[in-house]
Structure 1
Amino acid sequence: MKSITLLPNTHRNCNVIMIVFPFDEEIKQHIKLLPEVKWSRTLSSFYIISSKGNLHLLFTHFRRKKWLVDYQKLRKEVTRPLKERYKLVLPQLSEELNSELIRFKKWLQQKRLSENTVNTYTEVTAFFLRYKILKKVEPYSVKLIEQFNYDFIYKANRSVSYQNQCINGVKKFLLFKNLEINPLSIERPKKEKQLPAVLSIDEIKAIFNNLTNLKHKTLLSLLYSGGLRIGEALNLRVEDIDSKRMLIHVKQAKGKKDRYTLLSVSFLKLLREYYLAYKPKIYLFEGQNKKQYSNASAQAVLKKALKKTKITKRVTLHTLRHSFATHLLENGTDIRYIQELLGHNSPKTTMIYTHVTNTSLNNIKNPFDEL
């Protein structure tokens, strides 16, 4: 019997219910039938606003398939008080605007944008159209967009990343409508420049030593040894491992680009052991019914391993990629090679690792030591 776990969480200052399950295409498509359910890249999970009505909706929806629903942690959760924040109640879309939104989504899909980007742009555009109804204005104007930017994003204290997504989505919608609004003075705000968290070699070892499951250990070892994004690792197929040239072929990664990255000799031994034990058919990492392994499952693996270590840093799957790049730089690898291995368009992106490496900093003599 297929099983689904409901977990409590908070997202964008709202209490939500996360819908977690081992990757299964049937479950995924069935969940998508509910318009109230959204996908979050931040949570790496489907979610719905937490309420008794929505919980009943989920149970009714999954009961039709006779699937097992585990909601024990949801029952034990004590709702955390949320900060008081500005609330903007938006009216629902008319049937005409809803149809236009569907056409806009199809237009985005024809542009071959990623599924996540299409869903995000469609969602933020829906908010913009609902805001337009609230303001009872007919033509699209700079003033309307600026008001939406202020009321819906700034006053609600939404993140810079979300603000950029909203601006991008609205601009795409105006392009879809073939509308030129000049001057469109809303620019994408600059993100805060934060240095990535990096694990030491000993911390990496501690994580791997606390992984007893062979598949889990192989997956996380791949992320570190190849400097891969989690999506790239999960999309790898068996034939993408080139043991003769000791390379991993990463196909159609971010920016729809192919690249090669390193295949570690030590990792290859672990990979062969894993292959003999699990015998994957298509994808290198497969879940139930030989389907592609899920992002949520990979996140859970890391979280479980971290609990057994004494690491206090905020660590994500992407931290393994950051650590790979930093350790290469500390070992004297030319930053241009690191750029190629990571698949960065610009060396400026790779240069961030020069700020977190210990090699250069350790060569600086602290004046306090002269006192």
Structure 2
Amino acid sequence: MLLINAIQLFMQYLSSIDRSHETITGYRKDLIFFTRFLEAKYNVEPYIDEITANDIEDYLTYLKEKRNYAPASRGRNLHTLRSFFAYAYNKELVSRNVALSVEKIKVQQKERTYLTEEEVEQLITRIDHRLIRLVVIVLYMTGMRISECLNLTVDNVDLKHRVIHVVAGKGNKDRLIPISNRLLPLLEDYIRNQRPETESPLFFCTKKTGKLSPVNGTVKILNNGT
């Protein structure tokens, strides 16, 4: 079977087991890039059962020396290939998982740094945009990811019972986040006095577009932890 056809089957499988859209997109991107590498290497469309561990090792070397990929990025690509070939082996598309014989990429663990409460307060006071300022406060007080926060709908935020329902968050799992005494009045004021009249179901929205973009400068800064 052509590698590209096996990849398509793998994508369908990931969708059938409810892997997140972000996961499927990331796997597809990694595997298509691997396919293009093999096409350039052999000047022919690759077949999945002809791929060797040496091909994968050459690919990882290419990512390091030609594409300047960091160890973590190369490790992610190897993880993708291992998952893909594990699927292919289980479906009898290959006789063995050749990716298992490729040594893992060593990644130096970095100590995470966090903003202090004082630094967060300084950040918040410097944000002129009222809605962005509220979103930053919500992110800080709930620990939500930006995508989770901006995808909240009005129905997800239960002010009466003081809980936020995150749908399909990390690992494609739902979870409940309590609304603190400090956060509750801010959300109540937003709903009553600030949220524009719109048909958008999103909790945080603008009148013009009905949504708030995660690429906004301030939100992006918080996401990067800087």
TM-score band w.r.t. shorter chain: 0.7 to 0.9
Q: How far has the Cα of 1:302 moved from its partner?
A: 4.2
Give distance in 2, aligned partners of 1:166 and 1:155: 15
Aligned length: 211
The residue that corresponds to 1:324 in the other structure is: none
Say yes or no: does 1:154 pair with 2:71. Answer: no
The residue that corresponds to 1:118 in the other structure is: 24
Q: Give secondary structure in 2 for the equivalent of 1:184.
A: helix
Say yes or no: does 1:266 pair with 2:172. Answer: no
Q: Give secondary structure in 2 for the equivalent of 1:162.
A: helix
The residue that corresponds to 2:203 in the other structure is: 284
Change (3 A) 1:259 1:318: farther
The residue that corresponds to 1:81 in the other structure is: none
The CA deviation string for residues 81-104 of structure 1, in whole angstroms up to 9 with x for no partner, is xxxxxxxxxxxxxxx665555454
Change (3 A) 1:183 1:100: closer
Q: How far has the Cα of 1:114 moved from its partner?
A: 2.1
Contact 2:82 / 2:100 at 8 angstroms: preserved in 1?
A: no
5+ residue gaps in structure 1? 1-95, 304-314, 321-371
Contact 1:101 / 1:122 at 8 angstroms: preserved in 2?
A: yes
The residue that corresponds to 1:169 in the other structure is: 80
Give distance in 1, aligned partners of 2:157 and 2:16: 31
Give distance in 2, aligned partners of 1:288 and 1:100: 45
Amino acid at match of 1:149: L
The residue that corresponds to 1:239 in the other structure is: 155
* TM-score (norm. length: structure 1): 0.50
Give distance in 2, aligned partners of 1:234 and 1:175: 35
Change (3 A) 1:277 1:135: closer
Using the TM superposition, name which of 207-216 and 277-286 deviates more.
Answer: 277-286
Give distance in 2, aligned partners of 1:193 and 1:184: 23
Change (3 A) 1:248 1:190: farther
Q: Give secondary structure in 2 for the equivalent of 1:128.
A: helix
Amino acid at match of 1:146: E
Give distance in 2, aligned partners of 1:182 and 1:174: 7
Give distance in 1, aligned partners of 2:205 and 2:173: 23
Q: Give secondary structure in 1 for the equivalent of 2:135.
A: helix
Contact 1:229 / 1:318 at 8 angstroms: preserved in 2?
A: no
Say yes or no: does 1:199 pair with 2:115. Answer: yes
Q: How far has the Cα of 1:132 moved from its partner?
A: 2.3
Say yes or no: does 1:209 pair with 2:125. Answer: yes
Contact 2:19 / 2:172 at 8 angstroms: preserved in 1?
A: no
Give distance in 1, aligned partners of 2:4 and 2:53: 23
Amino acid at match of 1:119: T
Matching of residues 86-165 of structure 1 within 5 Å: 101-136=7-42, 139-150=50-61, 152-156=62-66, 157-165=68-76
* TM-score (norm. length: structure 2): 0.78
The residue that corresponds to 1:317 in the other structure is: 223
Give distance in 2, aligned partners of 1:211 and 1:183: 48
Give distance in 2, aligned partners of 1:183 and 1:98: 17
Amino acid at match of 2:116: S
Q: How far has the Cα of 1:210 moved from its partner?
A: 1.8
Contact 2:20 / 2:171 at 8 angstroms: preserved in 1?
A: no
Give the RMSD, CA atoms, in angstroms.
2.8
Give distance in 2, aligned partners of 1:130 and 1:256: 30
More helix by share: 2
The CA deviation string for residues 29-71 of structure 1, in whole angstroms up to 9 with x for no partner, is xxxxxxxxxxxxxxxxxxxxxxxxxxxxxxxxxxxxxxxxxxx
Q: How far has the Cα of 1:153 moved from its partner?
A: 2.1
More strand by share: 1
Matching of residues 294-305 of structure 1 within 5 Å: 294-297=213-216, 300-302=217-219
Say yes or no: does 1:221 pair with 2:143. Answer: no
Contact 2:85 / 2:98 at 8 angstroms: preserved in 1?
A: no
5+ residue gaps in structure 2? none
Amino acid at match of 2:112: P
Contact 2:11 / 2:28 at 8 angstroms: preserved in 1?
A: yes
